[in-house]
Amino acid sequence: MDLQTLSDHFAIPGVLTFSQNENGLLRASITTPSCTAELYLQGAHLTHWQPAGQQPVLFLSERSPFTPGKAIRGGIPLIFPWFGGRTATPENQRTDGPSHGFARTSDWTLAFAALTGDDLHLTLTLSPNDTTRALGYDHFQLVYQLTLGAELRLQLTVANQATTPLSFEEAFHTYLSVGDAQQISITGLSDTDYLDKTDEFKLKHQTDTLLKLTRETDRPYLNTVATLNLDDPILNRRITVCKANSKSTVIWNPWSELTAKLSDMDPNGWLTMTCIETANLGPNAITLAPGQQHAMEAHIFAQTFAPNFTPK
């Protein structure tokens, strides 16, 4: 899909336009009465979403390379078919392939675009290609639907087109923009088990109602369908993340020491981001029988507080 084809078939004057960056990546620029947004076709990667009258909800690293085949740091990367490094399973002993799978660096196809009221609806698809086949994935279909407006709705549908079961992990690796990661609080994860990736993947249990970050945090929470609220006293807002057909939630902030090792993030980038990831991973991974499909959903919205209001 090239720039001219995108413009001819999907452009909406004053709402949806397409361009190409200096490295050749195709992107969509979105302006509706209720939001502005930007999406790259590589990875079907939403890099910007800003409801009208609010500050941007998504964090985007200024150092991200935006080059073909390289993952974009920030926004909402799509993780499929494995989370983190590929690990061997009883069904498949292979451990090769890029971190977080191939979906976030693959070229997706835009299949639908329409403005309904103040919301823009987009549908993108990913089918098997030479890269996925080389990794052993030849019979799947991904359909990604986004509704962009005052609120953000995401749905990733995975279809198994093989004659054998398809097992996979998946995530919306959502980077949220915050005023100061040291001052935010997250609710919705009390009485929940998690794997502490900063402590040899030990299984731990959160009892506290509030989660406040004080150091590098990398926690896949398991068997949870809860809605999360991130309260930000610096930006005077609450970001809410609801989900469906997702049993894992990941909280991640690299903090200062790890950020210093990331070439695609400013050394102080950790201060202004925190990830709340809607996912199915580890013991919550999905297995589809032949012909089955699975749709994971996330719903994100932000509420601005009055100045000096302290959320509880």
CA–CA dist 55, 160 (Å, integer): 39
Measured distance CA(66)–CA(72) in Å, rounded:
6
Active site residue 45: no
Element (H, E) at 10: helix 3-10
Residue 60: DSSP 8-state: B
Distance separating alpha carbons of residues 45 and 105, to the nearest angstrom: 9
Q: Which two tokens stand for residue 301?
A: 């919205």
CB atoms < 10 A from the CB of 243, how many? 24
Neighbours of 203 (CB within 10 A): 9
DSSP annotation of 105? G
Query: CB 135: neighbour CB atoms within 10 A?
Result: 18
DSSP secondary structure, 220-248, as one string: EEES----EEEEETTTTEEEEEEEES--E
Which among 45, 48, 100, 173 is annotated as catalytic?
Answer: 173
Catalytic residue among 38, 216, 277, 294: 277
Contact 164, 292 (CB under 8 A): no
Cα 78 from Cα 278, distance rounded (Å): 10
Q: Which residues contact 164 (CB under 8 A, 6 or more apart)?
A: 290
How is residue 285 written in tokens?
Answer: 């991974």
In whole angstroms, give the CA distance from residue 49 to residue 39: 9
Q: 277 catalytic, yes or no?
A: yes
- Residues marked active site are found at 173, 277
